[in-house]
């Protein structure tokens, strides 16, 4: 298995890790705040389906890994089900979603949902099983060298067909991933032959290492009134003068270092809309913990951001976020931005 790029000190690898931060944050938030009636259920169906029987999602049960599985020096992001929890050495075989960097942005390549599932077989390959209308489907796939789409080593689909008055199992095989009988090789097989082909695919399935969400560092931000006295012990930043327009909590999922609350003032912007800010550190602390977060007095958030945060996680990576408001419901958002 390739080394998780978070442990790599190379600047380019670090930038790819940064590219996936927003995706990981979104998946983490969906699990941490899981609600079966959420409007996001369709978007995160690969996770939502895991809660169909239990009615809940657990941060220990879902993990991720970032590794180069195509050999192009650009890593992919893989989400999976944690089946053996052992902290940083946790493993799982079942893959829930695979992302790649395409044109500089994270892109979902495939996911397990709607009765279709993927499992790790190593060397950048995945065993697939599912259904497509009248066919049972399975096979082995990976990604193209550029990582921008799925590539099939073998794709099988079967159907029962009447041959000379008897029902026979027909196995079709191609490398397109489509249930097109005309463009596929066709073979009438016995049950023992089907079992042999099936085992050839799924006997290769094996665990892969992944980081459980329970070990992921995620910063959350809340209006004070929305948490209803949940935090009794906290650090505090107060305005030197005037009344605050809002009071907000900054709460990490685990201890972070060198946390800074930064005032931002618009300085300039380029033709592409990239903004340069004058920065003023309003508050900083060596550590910020889930049990002792920060309550900060702030001014309301306008069209141009006026507040940011930065912190260092336990792997030594620095994270920076702009604090802003949702245009839909006014809720607080943290947007990844290297200001």
Q: Where are the domains of the chain?
A: 16-211, 217-336
Question: How large is the average pLDDT for residues 143-161?
Answer: 95
Q: Residue 212 has what pLDDT?
A: 97
**Is the torsion defined by CA of 263, 266, 267, 270 positive or negative?**
positive
Residue with token string 């060397």:
123
Residue 122 gets the label, from left (phi > 0), alpha (psi -120 to 50) or beta, of left
SS3 for 314? coil
Place of tokens 């290769």: 204
Confidence category of residue 1, pLDDT binned at 50, 70, 90: very low
> For residue 16, is pLDDT > 90?
no
Token readout for 265 is 């003032």
pLDDT-based confidence at 292, cuts 50/70/90?
Answer: very high
* pLDDT tens-digit readout, 179-203: 999 999 999 999 899 999 999 999 9
Please write the tens of the pLDDT for every residue from 59-82: 999 999 999 999 999 999 999 999
Name the pLDDT band for 10 (thresholds 50, 70, 90): low
pLDDT of residue 7: 37
| pLDDT reported for residue 41 | 86
pLDDT tens-digit map of 30-55: 999 888 888 888 899 999 999 988 88
Kindly tell me if the per-residue pLDDT of 171 is higher than 60: yes
Strand partners, 265: 278
pTM, two decimals, is 0.84
Q: What does the pLDDT read at residue 301?
A: 66
User: What is the average pLDDT score of the chain?
Assistant: 90
pLDDT of residue 249: 96
Task: Round to whole Å and give the CA distance between 7 and 1.
Answer: 14
Q: Does 8 score more than 60 pLDDT? A: no
């Amino acid at each position: 298995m390739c080394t998780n790029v978070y442990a790599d000190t190379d600047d380019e690898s670090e930038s790819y890790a940064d590219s996936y931060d927003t995706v990981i944050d979104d998946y983490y938030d969906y699990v941490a705040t899981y609600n079966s009636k959420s409007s996001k259920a369709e978007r995160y169906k690969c996770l939502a389906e895991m809660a169909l029987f239990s009615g809940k999602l657990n941060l220990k049960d879902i993990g991720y890994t970032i590794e180069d599985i195509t050999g192009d020096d650009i890593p992919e992001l893989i989400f999976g089900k944690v089946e053996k929890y052992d902290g940083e050495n946790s493993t799982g075989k079942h893959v829930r979603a695979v992302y790649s960097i395409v044109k500089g942005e994270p892109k979902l390549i495939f996911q397990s949902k709607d009765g279709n599932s993927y499992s790790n077989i190593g060397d950048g390959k995945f065993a697939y099983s599912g259904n497509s209308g009248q066919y049972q489907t399975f096979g082995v796939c990976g990604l193209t060298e550029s990582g921008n789409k799925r590539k099939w080593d073998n794709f099988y689909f079967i159907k029962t067909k009447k041959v000379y008055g008897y029902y026979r199992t027909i196995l079709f095989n191609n490398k397109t991933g489509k249930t097109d009988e005309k463009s596929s090789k066709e073979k009438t097989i016995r049950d023992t032959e089907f079992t042999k082909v099936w085992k050839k695919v799924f006997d290769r399935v094996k665990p892969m290492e992944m980081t459980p969400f329970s070990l992921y560092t995620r910063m959350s931000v809340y209006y004070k009134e929305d948490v209803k006295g949940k935090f009794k012990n906290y650090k505090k930043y107060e305005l030197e003068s005037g009344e605050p327009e809002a009071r907000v909590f900054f709460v990490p999922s685990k201890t972070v270092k060198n946390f800074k609350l930064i005032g931002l003032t618009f300085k300039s912007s380029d033709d592409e809309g990239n903004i340069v800010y004058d920065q003023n550190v309003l508050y900083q602390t060596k550590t910020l913990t889930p049990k002792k977060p920060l309550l900060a007095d702030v001014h309301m958030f306008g069209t141009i951001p006026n507040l940011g945060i930065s912190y260092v996680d336990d792997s030594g990576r620095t994270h920076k976020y702009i604090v802003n408001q949702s245009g839909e419901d006014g809720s607080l958002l943290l947007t990844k931005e290297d200001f």
